[in-house]
Each structure stands twice: as C-alpha cells, then as structure tokens.
Chain A
Amino acid sequence: MMRKILVALALAGFAWAFLPLVFEAGVIGEPGQLASSYLENSPKDFAAANVVTAIVVSYRGFDTLGEVAVLFAATAGVGSLLTKKRLGIAGEKIPMQNATEVLRTATRLLTGLLIMFGAYIFMHGHLTPGGGFQGGVVIATAVLLSLLSSPESHVAHGLMTAVESLSGASYVGLGLLGAFLAWGFLDPRALPLGRIGALLSAGAIPFIYSAIGLKVGAELSGILEALKGDRE
C-alpha cells in the first residue's frame, strides 16, 4: 500500500514537471540566438545545405567522434561477451529453422536496394536530412535481412573488421588534416568547399560522414551477428 502511494506520488511529480512542456510543444516560430547564428553562419562557413549536418560534423564534431567511440566500445563488449564459449554452448550446433520462401525472395530483392539507399543517405548527409548514423543503420538492416533469410550464413568477419578500422582511421585522419590545413581538429575546410548544394561540396563533411556511415554499418552488423549466438 505504502509502495503504491509512493509510486503515485512520483508519477504526479513527473506529471507536474512535464506539464508546462505540453503547452510549449510544437513548431517554434522564431529560432533563438544560438540557432539563428548557426542558420546564418553554416552556409557561409562550410557551404553545407543541411545545417544539422554542419552542426553535427563541424561545430560539434568532437562530440560525434566521442559518440562513434562509444558505439565502438559497445560493439567490442557485445562481441566479446556473446561468443559460443561464453554462452556455454561451445562445439554444439544450434538447430536453425529455415526461412520462408517469401522472406528469402524479398531479401534477394531488397538487400541491394537497402545498401544503396544507406550509401545514398550518408553520401548526401550534407545536402538532405540524414547522415552517417542513419545510413549505417539502414545498411545494418540489409545485413539483418540476409542473416534472417539464411540463418546458417555468417557476416564476413575480416571484411567487416577491415571496413570498420579503415573508416575509423580515415575519420581521425580527416580530422587531423583539418588541424594542419585549416583552423583546428575536425575542421572540414581542409578540402575545397565548392558550390553549395553540389555533391562534392562542404569540404571534408561528405567524406567524414561516409566514413561514419561505413563504420556504424559494420559495427551494427557485428552486433546483430553476435546476437545470433553462433559466433565461435
């Protein structure tokens, strides 16, 4: 009884704290000081059509590097914990049910399209909504579909490790290029900015976001493969 009263009190407290947000929800007409400064400066500074990408990759680029590092640590943890040996099923063969004909046919049709769409999302991150993280997740979805449709198959480990470490190294390398050729670490103006709206514009942003996309896609594919539970 006491517990129920405490829970109700806690819920009422949350409701009271969040109630003002209900009336402020929706699209705000006037951007604040920081937001308008970003909106004005990012096309001039970086020639990026998508202001969100300019913020994520350039103004807050160091945070994004940290996020990628966190994701890498999470992948390493999942990969080292979810092995057959640790799960106590070393040497055993897990019986797998075969996928249905519908799933197999749809996977053959969709896998290529999904990988292409993911690559499109991260290559056009500086022009249209989306970017490395979203594109990487779409690519991981393609890997998931093929894992589901043929349960006996494996993700090519060497390829995934190579893609993951090469893209991570090139991300840091592009950041260092910014430190030497432009104003600081992860400054995308190390490469020519180009015309706003073109595919090869916004300096190093499309290359950085492509590296992030490949890295995220490889890492999430690794997590999905580890969760399948038959990793040696």
Chain B
Amino acid sequence: MIVDLAIAALGLFMAGAGIGAIKTKSILVSIILSGGVSLAASVVFLLMGAPDVAMTEAAIGSALTTVVFLYALARSRQADSETSDMPIDNPAKDSTIPPVDSSLGQTETGAAS
C-alpha cells in the first residue's frame, strides 16, 4: 500500500516536472527538469522490483543525458555568438535580454558541474 502511494506520488511528480519542462522559458531549467523525471522514473523502477533497469535509468537517463544536453546547450550558444551578430530565434531568450556573449557558454559548463 505504501509502495503504491509512493509510486503514485512519483508519477504525479514526473507528470508535473514534464509539463514544467515544456512550459518553462529557460532551456537550462527544462534540461534539469527532464533529468528529474528520469530520476523519479528510476525510483519507480526500483519500487516495482527492477533494480537493473533502475540503475540504467539513473546512470544514463538522469546523469549522462542531462550532461550531454548541457554540453550541447553550451556549445550551441558558443557557436551562435561566434558566427553571427543577428538576433537568434531562441525560445529560451526573451527579446528584452541582450545577445548572449561568449562567456555564457563557459558558465553553462560550470553549471553542469
């Protein structure tokens, strides 16, 4: 019974984090939220008696995928700021914020740590 309640609570958290990842304006926040979905999913797998799948999900889904996305975000911002001065069609960025400068790519990599 407690296990069922925990699975339901984790499911609700996953749904909320998933919706939040779509709705948020910041790509960084949505990457972190999708990592959170994977972490909750790995706990659900553990509660359902599949420790092997839980380990895979925790290691690949929540750790490695998140890091790969963060690296890609940092690299794309770096490439954008190097190749053009035109405003980039980036959903993460409101038009009120000035264009990304080249140091931002490195701060994102720092955030990955």
Q: Are A26 and B82 in contact (CB under 8 A)?
A: no
Asked if B84 lies at the interface with its beta carbon under 8 angstroms from chain A, I say no
CB pair B75 A227 closer than 8 Å:
yes
Q: Confirm or deny: A192 has a beta carbon within 8 angstroms of a beta carbon on chain B.
A: no
In the complex, are the beta carbons of A138 and B59 less than 8 A apart? yes
Which residues on the A side are within 8 Å of B96 (C-beta)? Answer: none
Bound Cα distance from A53 to B106, whole angstroms: 41
> Interface size class for chain B?
20 to 34
Please name all residues of chain A whose beta carbon is closer than 8 Å to the beta carbon of B56 when the two chains form the complex.
133-134, 137
Contact B79 A87 (CB under 8 A): yes
**Interface contact B72-A148, CB-CB below 8 Å:** no
Residues of chain A with a CB closer than 8 A to B4's CB: 26
Q: Once the chains bind, are A227 and B59 in contact (CB under 8 Å)? A: no
Is residue A97 contacting chain B, with contact meaning CB distance below 8 A? Answer: yes
Q: Which residues of B contact A133 (CB under 8 A)?
A: 56, 60
A220 touches B64 (CB 8 A): yes
Residues in A neighbouring B12, C-beta threshold 8 A:
none
Contact of B107 among A25, A97, A130 (CB under 8 A): A97
A228 touches B71 (CB 8 A): yes
CB distance from A64 to the nearest CB of B (A): 13
Question: Which of B48, B52, B60 interacts with A137 by CB under 8 Å?
Answer: B60
Residue contact A227 to B52, C-beta cutoff 8 Å: no
Contact B112 A26 (CB under 8 A): no
Decide if B49 is an interface residue (CB 8 Å cutoff). yes
Given contacts A27-B48, A229-B75, contact A130 B64 (CB under 8 A): no
Chain B 21-59, CB-CB to A under 8 Å as 1, else 0, gives 000000000000000000000000000110110111001
In the complex, A123 has a CB within 8 A of chain B: no
* Most chain A beta-carbon neighbours within 10 Å: one of B67, B82, B113: B113
Known: A99-B113, A129-B55. A223 touches B68 (CB 8 A): yes
Does A42 reach chain B (CB closer than 8 Å)? no
A103 to B109, CA, bound (A): 13
C-alpha gap A229/B79 in the complex (Å): 11
Residue B88 CB within 8 A of the other chain: no
Known A27-B49, A130-B55; contact A141-B63, beta-carbon cutoff 8 A: yes
Set of chain B residues within 8 Å of A88, measured between Cβ atoms: 83
CB of A127 to closest CB in B, whole Å: 12
A121 cross-chain contacts in B, Cβ below 8 A: 55
Question: Are A26 and B7 neighbours in the complex by a CB distance under 8 Å?
Answer: yes
**CB-defined contacts of B3 to chain A, threshold 8 Å:** 26-27
Contacts of A138 in B (CB 8 A): 59
Contacts of B54 in A (CB 8 A): 129
Assembly CA distance A27 to B113 (angstroms): 36
Q: For the complex of A and B, list the 6 residue pairs with the smallest distance between their C-beta atoms, beginning with the closest.
A: A129-B51, A137-B59, A227-B71, A97-B106, A134-B55, A52-B52
> What are 18 A-B residue pairs whose CB atoms fall within 8 Å in the complex?
A25-B48, A26-B48, A52-B52, A87-B75, A97-B110, A100-B110, A103-B113, A129-B51, A131-B52, A134-B52, A134-B59, A140-B64, A141-B59, A144-B64, A144-B67, A223-B68, A227-B71, A228-B71
Using CB atoms and an 8 Å cutoff, list the residues of chain A in contact with chain B.
25-27, 50, 52-53, 87-89, 94-97, 99-100, 103, 121, 129-131, 133-134, 137-138, 140-141, 144, 148-149, 151, 220, 223-224, 227-229
